[in-house]
């Protein structure tokens, strides 16, 4: 066999699937939300109904912790879709907990709605990861 029969190495793409593109768009919007959440205001904030708004109050701190959890899932998505999907579903469950805690204190309940697209992406990542794992485990036919 000569050198011409060797296959060239597969190129790694920045966005391997449409799910990664959608996840990146969601991540950018989430980043903007978190950046706005760092700005204190006496008149209130677009990200919280509390007046005056303190970025490191309980709600703001929990949102930032959940953003770090999201980032962990975001970077995991390029290595292991199934694990990333599970992390995104857990993230959404944590958002439910956050909203349950905050709505009791006068919150708006918007985090559940704004997090729903990530829940859908999480389910799609789980399905994609499961299919990918199943295809790898099936031996190729000669």
Alpha carbon distance 53, 115 (integer Å): 22
Instruction: Return the exposure string of 32-67: e unless at least 16 CB atoms fall within 10 Å of the residue's CB, then b.
Output: eebeebeeebeeebebbebeebebeeebbebbeebb
pLDDT in tens, 86-112: 999 999 999 988 888 776 565 566 778
Length of the chain in residues, anyone? 142
pLDDT in tens, 27-73: 999 999 888 888 776 766 666 666 666 777 777 788 889 999 999 99
pTM above 0.75, yes or no: yes
- The residue with greater pLDDT, 19 or 108, is 19
């Amino acid at each position: 066999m000569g050198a011409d029969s060797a296959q060239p190495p597969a190129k790694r793409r920045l966005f391997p699937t449409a799910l990664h593109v959608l996840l990146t768009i969601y991540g950018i919007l989430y980043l903007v939300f978190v950046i706005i959440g760092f700005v204190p205001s006496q008149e209130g904030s677009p990200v919280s109904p509390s007046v005056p708004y303190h970025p490191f109050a309980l709600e703001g701190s929990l949102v930032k912790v959940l953003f770090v959890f999201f980032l962990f899932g975001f970077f995991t998505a390029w290595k292991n879709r199934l694990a990333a999907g599970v992390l995104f579903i857990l993230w959404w469950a944590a958002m439910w907990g956050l909203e349950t805690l905050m709505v009791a204190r006068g919150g708006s309940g918007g985090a559940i709605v704004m997090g729903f697209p990530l829940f859908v992406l999480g389910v799609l990542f789980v399905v994609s990861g499961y299919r990918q794992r199943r295809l790898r485990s099936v031996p190729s036919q000669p």
